[in-house]
Amino acid sequence: MLRIIFELILICATGISLYVLYQSRKNESKERYIIQEMRHISRKMYELGNEEEFIKEVCDTVQSITHSNEFAYFKYVPEEDILLASYVVGPYKNQLLQAKMKMGEGFTGYVAKERKAMFLNNANKSTLAKHVPGTPDEDSALLAVPIAFAGDLLGVILQTKLGGSTFNKDDLRLSEIFVNLAAGFIAGENYVSMVRQGFVDMLRVLINTVELKDTYTAGHSVRVSRLSEIIAKKMNLSEKEVTKIKIGGLLHDIGKIGIQESILRKSEKLEDEELTEIKNHPGLGAKLIIKFKMFTGVADAILYHHETYDGTGYPDGLQGEAIPISSRIIAVADAIDAMTFGRPGRGIKSVDEAFAELKKFSGTQFDPKLVDICNNNKDVIKKVLEEAVQIDEFATEEELEKISL
């Protein structure tokens, strides 16, 4: 769904740019070149993975058309109502990257405030332009185009010509065309980022809710996530698979949100009915997570993390390699943390004792290959168990990107 929305935004931006171009055709050979470049940029919209890479493509194209000496992308920060230089190409790159413009301040801030593309020749003689510290006060020309989409200001593209060269209306018109494309890309990236952050915030709330019901779970989920990530990386799994396992480790007990609090906190031996209910938590968790398309692959990791290598586990009695590798890894990580931090009605074991248990049940409860990996990385695992943990760090936006698109 996110990809569809993103592509619709890009299509709209491309259409607007093409309309502007065809409304003012003058030099046919130049326009053919522009159309060719637009096709190139449009393809890059779908190929490139982040904002900076795309802005670089826009910069290369625009500079080849306007012959500007400098190109700067100022990102708008609405919380502070300022423009910050985010990407700069040119002889005064370092100085410009330190620039911070208030809305309405200098030529760039004025263009942002007015939401109107403009060029300013002889800028060094104008009161509208603001001199950037560390740059010479020489004859220069400025061209700035606001980046806006659906009424929202996203930033400003600023170009500079040095040595007495000037900009003209064609430079302004053609710059606007490519900035329209940039606006579509940036708006799409911002929207997808916002939705992903919404998922992250929602999951944090769910995890905190489980921890309030089951005090044992506090910190357990993050430690299992980190241990699972270590084991997955030592197996040389793909980045996408490692990320799924990391998030699966964090969410493996999310189904406990549907289990009675009295059962979760009971320190005595569970009755048969209570044990049956507690065994429902992997299925409840998987049903909850599978509703979110971006976490479809994580659902299986959650569902089968209580399966055992010999086939005596639950919910489906899967055996050996039939159990997803993600679930087998989480099962080992879950057991290590449970033994070293304790569970209701059970004592706490030392790390050495926990590893002895892994070896004892290797081939029955646990995958032997994973037990060997844990033994070979005992010091790393011990360090994770000793560290303080924070839910806030469980998944970066880049990691969500790997499993969701």
CATH for 270: 1.10.3210.10
What is the chain's mean pLDDT, rounded?
80
Decide: 106 and 96 in contact? Cβ < 8 Å: no
Domain with residue 76: its CATH number is: 3.30.450.40
Confidence (pLDDT) at 216: 60
Confidence (pLDDT) at 295: 75
Asked if 69 and 162 sit in the same domain, the reply is: yes
Asked if 41 and 96 sit in the same domain, the reply is: yes
Decide: 249 and 224 in contact? Cβ < 8 Å: yes
- Average the pLDDT over each of 121-135, 159-173, 176-190 and give the range with the smallest value: 176-190
Tally the domains of the chain: 2
Residue 356, helix vs strand vs coil: helix
Of 192, 227, 252, at which residue does a domain stop?
Answer: 192
In a domain, 206, yes or no: no
pLDDT band for 24, please (50, 70, 90 cuts): very low
- Residue 161: strand pairing partners: 141
pLDDT band for 81, please (50, 70, 90 cuts): very high
Work out the percent of the chain whose per-residue pLDDT is above 70.
76
In a domain, 33, yes or no: yes
Close Cβ partners of 213 (under 8 Å, ≥ 6 residues apart): 256, 257, 259, 261, 264, 265
Give whichever of 90-104, 209-223, 337-351 has the largest mean pLDDT.
90-104
Cis peptide bond upstream of 315, omega within 30: yes
- Residue 237: strand pairing partners: none
- Residue 118: strand pairing partners: 144
Long-range contacts (CB closer than 8 Å, 24 or more residues apart) made by 233-237 = 234/373, 234/376, 234/377, 235/325, 235/329, 235/369, 235/370, 235/373, 237/325
Tell me: pLDDT of 315 over 80.
Answer: yes
Q: Would you tell me how many other CB atoms lie within 10 Å of the CB of residue 312?
A: 11
Note the pLDDT tens digit of each residue in 194-207.
666 666 677 777 77
Asked if 174 and 219 sit in the same domain, the reply is: no
pLDDT band for 117, please (50, 70, 90 cuts): very high
Q: Per the structure block, which two tokens stand in for 218? A: 């506090």
For the residues 284-310, what does the mean pLDDT come to? 88
Domain span at residue 81 reads: 2-192
Query: What is the spatial distance between Cα 115 and Cα 188, in angstroms, rounded to a whole number?
Result: 20
* Residue with the larger pLDDT of the pair 61 and 97: 97
In a domain, 81, yes or no: yes
Residue 15, helix vs strand vs coil: helix
Query: 264-285 as b/e, with b when 16 or more CB fall inside 10 Å?
Result: beeeeeeeeebeebbeebbbbb
Strand pairing report for 152-162 and 140-149: antiparallel
* Cα 93-186-53 angle, rounded to 5 deg: 50
Asked if 185 and 226 sit in the same domain, the reply is: no
Task: Give the sheet arrangement for strand 70-77, strand by strand.
Answer: 100-102, 82-89, 70-77, 152-162, 140-149, 118-120
In a domain, 207, yes or no: no
Work out the percent of the chain whose per-residue pLDDT is above 90.
41
- Residue 144: strand pairing partners: 118, 158
Asked if 220 and 167 sit in the same domain, the reply is: no
Confidence (pLDDT) at 389: 56
Task: Label each residue of 128-192 as H, E or C.
Answer: CCCCCCCCCCCCEEEEEEEEEECCEEEEEEEEEEECCCCCCHHHHHHHHHHHHHHHHHHHHHHHH
Note the pLDDT tens digit of each residue in 353-398.
999 999 999 999 999 999 999 999 999 999 888 875 554 444 555 5
Confidence (pLDDT) at 13: 45
Query: What is the spatial distance between Cα 302 and Cα 230, in angstroms, rounded to a whole number?
Result: 18
Confidence (pLDDT) at 58: 80
* Cα 288-290-292 angle, rounded to 5 deg: 95
Note the pLDDT tens digit of each residue in 260-289.
888 887 878 888 898 999 999 999 999 988
Asked if 287 and 147 sit in the same domain, the reply is: no
Query: What is the spatial distance between Cα 223 and Cα 316, in angstroms, rounded to a whole number?
Result: 26
